[in-house]
Amino acid sequence: MGLLDRFKKKSGPVEEQFFAHADGKMIPIEAVSDPTFAQELLGKSIAILPETGVLRSPADGEMTVVFETGHAVAMRTKIGADVLLHIGVDTVTLSGKGFNAKVAVGDRVRKGDILVEFDLPFIIKSGFDPVIPMIVTNSDDFSIELNSCGETVSSKDAVMTLKDEKSA
């Protein structure tokens, strides 16, 4: 392979592990009450029913969206995956009450960093499902392997592996 051939390939990782974005129980995405998430209309997804009020970064990357209400954030990972993390179903109607975003657009984050703190008891008491889907919105660009469904997970547990087959 010549020098020019090496520059034709993308640089960077071709595989990336995603870790649990919350402590709790991983549930099948089909069990999420919102059909947009359950039918994976936005992309390949997993969901965690949280046990604590902390949303963590599933991988290293850069924050691309932080909703003013704090109920959702998005990031781009090193491998180029666009990831949406959405706390609860219909929680946007809380208008930010109970959510405290700890990041801003453009922030670089590392796996396990706190992205949002939220009042889990308040969300439940207010009648909302607190499930947290993690959606890879450009999932067609990757092969995705899911782990741990039905198990209790923490931010130390790998729950998904993405492979960028085009850059291999």
Rounded to a whole number of angstroms, the CA Rg of the chain reads 16
Q: What is the spatial distance between Cα 46 and Cα 37, in angstroms, rounded to a whole number?
A: 9
* Active-site annotation holder among 29, 86, 116, 164: 86
Active site residue 86: yes
Q: Are 83 and 48 in contact (CB under 8 A)?
A: no
Q: What is the spatial distance between Cα 114 and Cα 21, in angstroms, rounded to a whole number?
A: 9
Element spanning 115, H or E: strand 114-118
3-state secondary structure of 33: coil
Q: What are phi and psi of 6, to 5 degrees?
A: -65, -30
- Give me the amino acid identity at 78: K
Residue 110: Cβ-neighbour burial (10 angstroms; 0-12, 13-18, 19+): exposed
Looking at the DSSP bridge assignments, the partners of residue 161 are 17, 145
Residues annotated as part of the active site: 86
